């Protein structure tokens, strides 16, 4: 199968920067788009810092970092995606924003054979596919945070996705990016979030109802079940706003109370306590270990 040599990544937040980093380290030339010049600067800083950390931790050499950096280019104009063979959008988990991005990409990317992938965790892939003129060439490619560490990618064909598109997406994710792929149907939450989100929301309800303190809930799952991090620490990593958005899509899909975001989660998002990215969530990252 033809390898992808010109990849586009739209969005350089937690997920987009991780996808771009992995691709650049594995020899792919990546054009990263953000919405504004300021967001481009922030995204570039995030990527540079992550590559520098990888060198400090002995994961890669300085030469590998420099080679990866030379393969990364940045833009705030989606029109620059014209020559891409494959574009992955990883913008905010908001149906209107994602639809707008995918529609703009469809017009911008010149090659009608080029594939548009979405890193959505919960929005129906088919809704995004039918917003384009290439519904057979739109596919879900769902990565996990932190992308350089987590080995999984979920592959999600929409009802409209062609077999060839699915095969090319699988080839990029596995042979080129080095991930393991699982196949899921286009149902909100796919495999992992369908199981993970109700568990995370249950932990928030447990905290809300006073059964245990945040650190006790987390240590319970870390020490009792060998999870690398407990549910509230994990929510802080994912971002409470992202988790709330995923829960909302899943609730809309299934109308099951177990997917309804608890009041505490909604209030924390309203207060800007989004987790690590805002410096405070269930834990205060200015003073680690202190519960919010």
Interface with ligand 3HC (CB under 6 A)? 50, 54, 57, 59, 121, 144-146, 148-150, 193, 196, 228-229, 234, 238, 242, 246
Residues forming the active site: 121, 142, 154, 193
Minimum distance of ligand 3HC from residue 221's CB (angstroms): 11
Minimum distance of ligand 3HC from residue 143's CB (angstroms): 7
Minimum distance of ligand 3HC from residue 186's CB (angstroms): 15
Task: Give yes or no for a contact between 113 and 99, defined as CB atoms under 8 angstroms apart.
Answer: no
Give the residue from 159, 105, 226 showing the smallest Cα distance to 117: 105
**Residue with Cβ nearer ligand 3HC (135 or 148):** 148
**Residue with Cβ nearer ligand 3HC (108 or 259):** 259
Residue nearest to ligand 3HC (CB): 121
CB neighbourhood size of 71 (10 A)? 18
**Residue with Cβ nearer ligand 3HC (59 or 205):** 59
Give the residue from 266, 247, 255, 263 showing the smallest Cα distance to 209: 263
Measured between alpha carbons, how far is 187 from 140 in angstroms, rounded to an integer? 11
**Residue with Cβ nearer ligand 3HC (109 or 158):** 158
Contacts of 139 (CB under 8 A, 6+ apart): 115, 116, 117, 118, 125, 155, 156, 157, 158, 161, 165, 166, 169
Minimum distance of ligand 3HC from residue 174's CB (angstroms): 18
């Amino acid at each position: 199968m033809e390898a992808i040599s010109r990849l586009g990544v739209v969005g350089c937040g937690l997920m987009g920067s991780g996808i771009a980093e992995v691709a650049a380290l594995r020899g792919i030339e990546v054009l990263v788009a953000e919405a504004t010049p300021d967001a481009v600067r922030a995204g570039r800083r995030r990527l540079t810092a992550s590559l520098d950390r990888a060198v400090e931790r002995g994961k890669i050499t300085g030469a590998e970092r420099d080679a990866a950096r030379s393969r990364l280019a940045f833009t705030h104009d989606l029109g620059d995606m014209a020559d891409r063979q494959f574009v992955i959008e990883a913008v905010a988990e908001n149906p209107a924003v994602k639809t707008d991005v995918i529609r703009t990409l469809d017009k911008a990317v010149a090659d009608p054979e080029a594939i548009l992938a979405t890193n959505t965790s919960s929005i129906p892939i088919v809704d995004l596919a039918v917003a384009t003129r290439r519904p057979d060439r739109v596919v879900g490619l769902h990565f996990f945070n932190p992308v350089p560490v987590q080995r999984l990618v979920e592959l999600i064909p929409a009802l409209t996705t062609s077999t060839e598109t699915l095969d090319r997406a699988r080839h990029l994710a596995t042979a080129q990016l080095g991930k393991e792929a699982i196949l899921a149907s286009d149902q909100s939450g796919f495999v992992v979030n369908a199981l993970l989100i109700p568990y995370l929301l249950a932990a928030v309800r447990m905290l809300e109802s006073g059964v245990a303190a945040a650190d006790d809930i987390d240590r319970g799952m870390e020490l009792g079940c060998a999870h690398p991090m407990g549910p509230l620490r994990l929510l802080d990593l994912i971002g409470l706003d992202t988790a709330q958005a995923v829960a909302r899509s899943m609730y809309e899909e299934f109308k099951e109370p177990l997917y309804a975001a608890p009041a505490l989660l909604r209030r924390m998002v309203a207060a800007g306590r989004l987790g690590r990215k805002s410096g405070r969530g269930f834990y205060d990252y200015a003073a680690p270990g202190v519960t919010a």
